[in-house]
Amino acid sequence: MLNVTNILIILFLPFINFLILGLGSRSIKQPVSGTIATVSLLLAAGLSLMIGYQYFIVKGMVNGAFPPIELFRYPWMVFGSKLTIDMSLVLDPLTVMMLVVVTSVSAMVHLFSLGYMKGEERYTTYYAFLGLFTFSMLGLLLAGNLFQIYIFWELVGVSSFLLIGYYFSKPSAVAAAKKAFIVTRFADLGFLIGILILSFYGETLDIATLIQRLTAPAGSQSLAIQTAGWLGISALTWGLAMIFIGGAGKSAMFPLHIWLPDAMEGPTPVSALIHAATMVVAGVYLVARLFPIFQLSACILDLITYTGIFSAFFAAIIACTQTDIKRVLAYSTMSQIGYMMFSLGIARPEDHYLGYMASLFHLFTHAFFKSLLFLGAGAVIHMIHSNEMNKMGGLRKFMPVTHITFLIACLAIAGIFPFAGFFSKEEILLATYHANFPVFVIALCTSGLTAFYMFRLYFSIFWGKHQAHDPHHSEGTFTMKFPLMLLMLCTLVAGFLPFSSWIFQGDTHETSHINWKFSLVPLSLSTLGILIAAYFFRKPSSRVADTLMWMGGIYRISKNKFYIDEIYLWITQRVLFPLVGKPAAWVDKNIIDGTVNGVGNFVGSIYYFIRGMQSGKLQDYLLYFLAGIAAWMVYFIYIWK
Amino acid sequence: MSHIPLQHVLIFSTALFFIGMFGMFTRRNLITLLMSVELMLNSVNINLAAFNKYLYPQQTGGLFLALFIIIIAAAEAAIAIAIIINLYRSHHSIDVDDATEMKY
Amino acid sequence: MNLLLLLIVPLIAAIGIMLSPRVSAVRQISLAASLVQLMLVGWLLFQMLNSRSVSAQPLYFEQVYQWFPSWNIQFHIGVDGIAISMMILTALVVLAGVLVSWQESILPKEFFFLLMFLSLGAYGFFMARDIFTLFFFLELAVIPKFLLIGIWGSGQKQYSAMKLALMLMAGSALVFVGLTGIYLEAHSFDLTVLSATHFPVAFQYLFYPLLFVGFGIFAALFPFHTWVPDGHASAPTAASMFLAGISMKLGGYGCLRVASFLMPDAAIHYAPVIIILSTCAILYGAFVTLMQSDLKYMNAYSSVSHCGFVMLGIGVFNTTSVYGAILQMISHGLMTALFFAAIGMIYYRTHTRKIPELGGLLAKLPFISTVFVIAGLCSLGLPGLSGFVAEMTVFVGSWENKSLWVRLATILSCASIVVTAVYILRASGKVIMGPIRETFVNLSDAVWYEKMAAIFLLAGIFVMGIAPFLLQYIIGNEAAAIVKQGTQVLINK
C-alpha cells in the first residue's frame, strides 16, 4: 500500500485534471468537467485515507517512532558537486497527516463547487485551477528537498493568484490577486535567501540530511553555520529568520497578512480550500518540517512565538468589527494560524515538545472546521448573493442544514467541549501555560474574543430579523449540503483521534489528556464570549449602536484594520514608485540615453562644422587646393630633409 | 636668337600663368574658366619649351612633354565643353555658382 | 552531419525568396526553410549525443577550410553542447518569427529575405570556432536589423534603427580591436589554438575590457543598454523577437566564449566591475520597467534586467553560475520572443500597446491572453517554466562565492524577482484582466499560424522548465570546461 504508485496516483490525479480541463477548457462542457474532477479527487482522498491508515495503524511505530519512508528520488537539477535539487517523495507522519487533510478538504470543495459554481462561464477552467492547486500543495507536502518545497511553494502561490482572480473582469478581484501574489512573493524572497544560506553551510538541499548535519553538535557544518555570521548574528539565525519570513508570508502573519482578507474576492469554495485549510498553513508546515533546526536558535523561536501571538490577538480584534462575513472568517483564520505559530515557538524539550504536537493538532482540526465555516458561508452567500452581514438575518428556518453545521463549526472554533477545536486549543494553552505565562494570558483573551466574534457572525446570519431574499434561491443542491455534513462529522470526531501518539517531536511523547481543572478557565471564557455575542446580536436592538458610540475611536481603528493597508499603500505609492522607480526611469531617459544622444549630437556638430567648407563654390575649392600646395611647398623647402 | 635671355621668356610665362589664375579666381563663367585653364597650361608649355631650348638643347624631353600637354588640353577642352553644354541644357546657365545640387 | 548544411539552407531559402514570384511562395519557402533548420538542429543534437556517448570530444562535426592563408584565417566550424543549445534556440525563434509575420503585407519578399539572412548570421556565429569567422557572422547579423527596423518598424523608427546600428557597430569595433590584439599576440584566430595559449596578464588586463564591453553592448550590458528599449519598441514583431531572442545572446555567448574563456585572469580581475554593473542592470532595469506604460518598452527593459543575470553569471565565473548564465540566455531567448509575439498579436488587433488603453482581453482573446500570462509568469520565475531554472542556477552559483559583497549583490539580484512580479502582474492585471473595453468586444482570437508560433516557443519553455536535467545533460560539462580554464589560473596562483 505504501508504494510509490499509490502516491503518484494521488499526486498526479489532480494534475491530470488540470491538464485535461485546462486544455479542453472550451470543449469540455459543464457537468462533465466538474464530475471528472470531483470523482478523481474523491478517489485521491480515499487513497490518502488508506495510506494514512496503513502508515499509522498497520505499519505502526518502529522503536518508538514513525520512520520516514523515501519512495522516490530523481536528481532534477545539479549545482556543482554538492547541491542537488531532487524531486522526491517522502512519507513521514507530518506528511501523511497533511496528505489526508489536503485531499479530503479538496475533495469536499470540489464536490461543493459542483453546485456553487453551476452556471459560471469559466466552470471548466475553475476546476482546472483547483487541480493545479491541489497538485502543487501535495507536491509541497511530499517534498524531501528544501528547494522542492520552494518550487511547489511558488506554484501554490500562482494557483492562489489564478483562483483569486477567477472573476477577472472585477477590478477588485484583480487587485486582490495581484496583492496576494506580490506580498507572498516578497516573503518568498526571504525563503529563497534562507535556503541559500542554510544550503551553503549545510552543503545539501535534502531536508533530512540538512537536519542531521546542522543538529549534530560537533559536526563541521553545524560549527560553520554557528560561527559564521554577519552584523553579530550567526548565519544560522539569519537563515532561519529568512525562512520564517517566507512562512509568515504564506501564513499571513503580521505584518505580511494584508493579502489574506482581500483574497476573499475569489470564489468562496476556493477560500475554504486555499485560504483557510491548506495553503495558508504551509508556513506552519514549513516551520514544523524544519523544527529541529529552528530549535537550535532560541531567538528565532521567540520571534515565532511573538509574531504568532501578536497576529492571533490583532486579527481577533479586527475580526470583531468586520461586516463582510468572509473577511471575518479570514481574520479568524489569521488568528488561528497565529495560535499554531506561537505554539510551535514555545515547544521545548522540557515538556516533550507538547507545543509542537498541539500546533499540528490544531492545524488538523482547524482545517476541518474552518473549511466547514467557509463552505457554510458559501452556501449563505449563494442564497443571499451578498457578503454583507446586514443583508442577512433569520436564515435558520430557510437553511437548516447549513445552520446546524455552521453552529457546530462555531462551537468548535470557540473551543467548546466536545468539538474538535476544544481539544487542540486545550493542548496549545496547556503547553503555553508551562512555557510562557504572558503569552498564555494573551492567548486566553484571544480565545474569548474568538468565541465572541464567531457567535456575532453566527447570530447575525441565522438569528435576528429575517430580511427578504429572492424566493427562487434555495439552500442549494445535495452536492452542496453533503460536504457540509461530512465536514461536520469530521469536526465532531477529529478531537478524539489519538493525535499525540502519531505526531510528535523528539523520542518520547505525552499522551493526550484532558485536564479538567485547567480547562475550566478557557471554557468559561469562551462561554462568556458566546453569551456576550448573544446579548448583542441575537435580537436586533440598539445595544450594538450604543456600545459602538461608547467605543468611538477604538472601533474605527479596528474597523479600518489598523490602517495597515494604508501604510503599505503609502510605502508603495508614495515612496517606492516616486522615489525609486521614477528617478530610475529619469536617469535612464536623461542621463544614460542622454549620453548616447550626446555623443551622436557631438558627432553631428563636427559634421556641421566641416560641411561649411563644402560650399559648392569652385573658387573656394581652388583656394584650398592652392593653400595645400603652398603648405606642401613650405614643408618640402624648409622642413623636409 | 640669343638676344632674348631666358629670363624674359620666364617672366612672360609667369605673367601668363597668373593671368590665368586670376581668371580662375574671379570669373564665374565656365567658358572663361576653361580659357583660364588653357592659359595656365600654355604658360607651362612655354616654360617647358624654353628650358629645353636654353638648358638642354640636345634633348627633346621638354618638347615632348609640352606636346603631350597640348594633347591633354585638347581632350580636356572637349570634355569640359561637353560638360558645359550639358550644364547649359539643364540649368540654362553656365555660371558655376548656379550648379549647387551636389553641395552637402 | 555536415554543419555547412545549416548555412546553406537559409542561404538557398533567401535566394529562393528573392526569385519567387508570389507572396504565398515566399511564405511557404520561409516556413519550409525554418522547419528544415529546426529538424537539422534536432538531428545535429541527436548525432552529437550519440557520438558523445561513444567518446567525449571537445568539438563535434569539425570542419576547417583555409580562408585567408596569409593571415592564418581559417573558416573553422564545429559545435559543442552550448553551441547546439543556442542553435536550437535560434531555430525555434526563427520558426516562430516566420509564423508570426505570416501576414506581413509591406514588401514581404524583402522582409523574409532579411529574416533568413539574420538566421544565417546567427547559425554561423554559434558554430564558428575561428574568432575572425565569428566576427564575420556577427557583422552579418547586424545590418539586416537596421533595415528591418528602419523599413518595417513603427514609431520613431529611423532614430531607433540608427541608434541600434551605431551602438552595435561601436560594439563590433571594440571587438575587432580586441581580436586584432589577440591575433598580434598569438598569431592565430583559431579558438582551439588560442585556448591553449596563455596570454600575458598585462595583455589580458588591457584587451579583456575591450572584448567584454564590445560583446557586452550586444548583450545590453549596463550602461550600454539604451539601444535595447528603442530598438525593440520600434522593430516589427518578428524583428523584436530576433533581436531579444537571438541577437542579445550573440553578445552573451561572445563574452563567455571569447572574452572570459580566453582571458580567465582578467575575467577574475574584472569580476567586481562586472558584478556591480550586472547587479545595477538587474535591479535598475527592473525599476525602470516598473515605470513603463508601453508593453514593448516594458518587455525591452525587462530584457535588460534579465540579461543582467547572464552577465552576473559570467562575472561570478564559477561552474554553476556560468551554467546558469547559459541557461538564462536560452530561457530569456524563448521567453522574451514569446512575450514579443504575444504583444505583437495584441497590437495587431487592438492597434495600441499602451497599458492604460488596454483591458480585459481575456474575455475575447483567451489564447493570446494565456500566452501573455505564461510568458509573464516565466519572466517572473515561476517554477515549471524555464525562467525559474535559469535564475535559480545563477543565484546558487553566485551565492557560492564567499565574499560578502558578492553575497550582497546576489541578494539584491534576488530582490529583483519581487519587482519583476510587480510589473508583470501590473501589466497583465491591466491588459488581460479587468473589465473589457467596448472597442475590443469584436476582436477575434489567434489564428493557426499565431497559435503555431506560440506553441513552438511554449514547448521550449515547458521542456526546459520541467526537465532541466535534459539541458544539463547537453551543456553541463561544457560549462564546467570553460570555468576550468579560470580555476586552473587560480590554482596556479
CA distance A613 to chain B (A): 9
Q: In chain C, which residue's Cα lies nearest the Cα of A26?
A: C366
Q: Is residue B86 part of a domain?
A: yes
Q: Are A211 and A293 in contact (CB under 8 A)?
A: yes
Q: Is residue B15 part of a domain?
A: yes
pLDDT reported for residue C37: 92
For the segment A235-259, the average pLDDT, to the nearest whole number, is 89
Q: Where are the domains of chain C?
A: 4-492
Of residues C474, C489, C483, C491, the one with CA closest to residue C79:
C474
- The three-state secondary structure class of A201 is helix
CB contacts < 8 A (A, B): 21
| 597-626 of A, contacting B, C-beta below 8 A | 611, 614-619, 622-623
pLDDT reported for residue A358: 87
pLDDT band, very low/low/confident/very high, at A212 (cuts 50, 70, 90): confident
pLDDT reported for residue B39: 93
Q: Which set of grid coordinates corresponds to residue A541?
A: 436592538
* Cβ neighbours of C421 in A, within 8 Å: 181-182, 185
CB contacts < 8 A (A, C): 127
CA distance C348 to chain A (A): 23
- DSSP characters for B55-99? H-TT--HHHHHHHHHHHHHHHHHHHHHHHHHHHHHHHS--BGGG-
C291 → closest Cβ in A150, A581, A593: A581
Q: Are C308 and C282 in contact (CB under 8 A)?
A: yes
* Cβ neighbours of A170 in C, within 8 Å: 435
Phi, then psi, of A2 in degrees rounded to 5: -85, 55
* Cβ neighbours of C360 in A, within 8 Å: 168-169
pLDDT reported for residue C490: 56
Q: Is residue B32 part of a domain?
A: yes
Show the beta-strand stretches assigned E in A210-359: 229-230, 233-234
H-helix or E-strand spanning residue A113: helix A93-116
CA distance C223 to chain A (A): 7
Contacts of residue A46, defined as CB under 8 A and 6 or more positions apart, other chains included, come to: none
Q: Is A576's pLDDT higher than 60?
A: yes
- DSSP characters for A232-251? TEEHHHHHHHHHHHHHHHHT
Q: Are C124 and C78 in contact (CB under 8 A)?
A: no
| ∠ CA C224-C229-C231, rounded to 5° | 95
pLDDT reported for residue C215: 93
C288 → closest Cβ in A161, A192, A585: A585
For the segment A199-228, the average pLDDT, to the nearest whole number, is 82
pLDDT reported for residue A509: 62
| ∠ CA B93-B95-B97, rounded to 5° | 120
Number of domains in chain B: 1
B103 → closest Cβ in A616, A622, A623: A616
Q: Using one digit for the tens of pLDDT, what is the confidence trace for C225-268?
A: 888 888 888 888 888 998 888 888 999 999 988 888 888 888 88
pLDDT band, very low/low/confident/very high, at A348 (cuts 50, 70, 90): confident
* Calpha distance C7→C29 (Å, rounded): 16
For the segment A265-281, the average pLDDT, to the nearest whole number, is 87
Q: Is residue B1 part of a domain?
A: no
Q: Are A437 and A512 in contact (CB under 8 A)?
A: no
* Calpha distance A135→A337 (Å, rounded): 23
Domain of B45, CATH number, reads: 1.10.287.3510
Does the CB of B96 have a partner CB in chain A at under 8 Å? yes
pLDDT reported for residue C444: 82
Q: In chain A, which residue's Cα lies nearest the Cα of C394?
A: A79
* Cβ neighbours of C479 in A, within 8 Å: none
Does the CB of B24 have a partner CB in chain A at under 8 Å? yes
The domain of B60 spans: 6-101
CA distance A611 to chain B (A): 6
* Calpha distance A369→A406 (Å, rounded): 9
A618/B104 touch (CB, cutoff 8 Å), yes or no? no
pLDDT reported for residue B11: 94
B97/A617 touch (CB, cutoff 8 Å), yes or no? yes
Between residues A524 and C55, the one the model is more confident about = A524
Chains A and B touch, using 3 or more CB pairs below 8 Å? yes
Phi, then psi, of C225 in degrees rounded to 5: -100, 0
Q: Is A470's pLDDT higher than 70?
A: no
Predicted ipTM of the assembly: 0.90
- The three-state secondary structure class of A339 is helix
Q: Which set of grid coordinates corresponds to residue A327?
A: 473577511
pLDDT reported for residue C225: 87
pLDDT reported for residue C487: 65
B103/A619 touch (CB, cutoff 8 Å), yes or no? no
Q: Using one digit for the tens of pLDDT, what is the confidence trace for A432-445?
A: 888 888 888 898 88
Q: Is B103's pLDDT higher than 60?
A: yes
Q: Which amino acid is at C438?
A: E
* Cβ neighbours of A619 in B, within 8 Å: 24-26
How would you write the pLDDT of chain C (493 residues) with one tens digit per residue? 688 888 899 999 999 988 888 888 888 899 999 999 999 999 999 988 888 888 777 788 888 888 888 888 888 888 888 889 999 999 999 999 999 988 887 888 888 999 888 899 999 999 998 889 999 999 888 888 888 888 888 888 888 888 888 889 999 999 999 999 999 888 888 888 888 888 888 888 999 999 999 999 998 888 888 888 888 888 888 889 988 888 889 999 999 888 888 888 888 889 899 999 999 889 888 988 888 888 999 999 999 999 999 999 998 888 888 889 999 999 999 999 999 999 999 998 888 888 888 888 888 888 999 999 999 999 988 888 998 999 999 999 888 888 888 888 999 999 898 999 989 998 988 888 888 888 888 888 888 888 889 999 999 999 999 988 888 888 877 777 777 766 665 555 4
Mutate to test the interface with A, among B18, B24, B29 (most CBs of A within 10 A): B24
pTM for the full predicted model: 0.87
For the segment A75-81, the average pLDDT, to the nearest whole number, is 82
B25/A618 touch (CB, cutoff 8 Å), yes or no? no
For the segment A439-465, the average pLDDT, to the nearest whole number, is 86
C415/A189 touch (CB, cutoff 8 Å), yes or no? yes
Does the CB of B83 have a partner CB in chain A at under 8 Å? no
pLDDT reported for residue B36: 93
For the segment A489-496, the average pLDDT, to the nearest whole number, is 85
* Cβ neighbours of C233 in A, within 8 Å: none
CA distance C421 to chain A (A): 6
Q: Using one digit for the tens of pLDDT, what is the confidence trace for B70-98?
A: 999 999 999 999 999 998 998 888 888 88
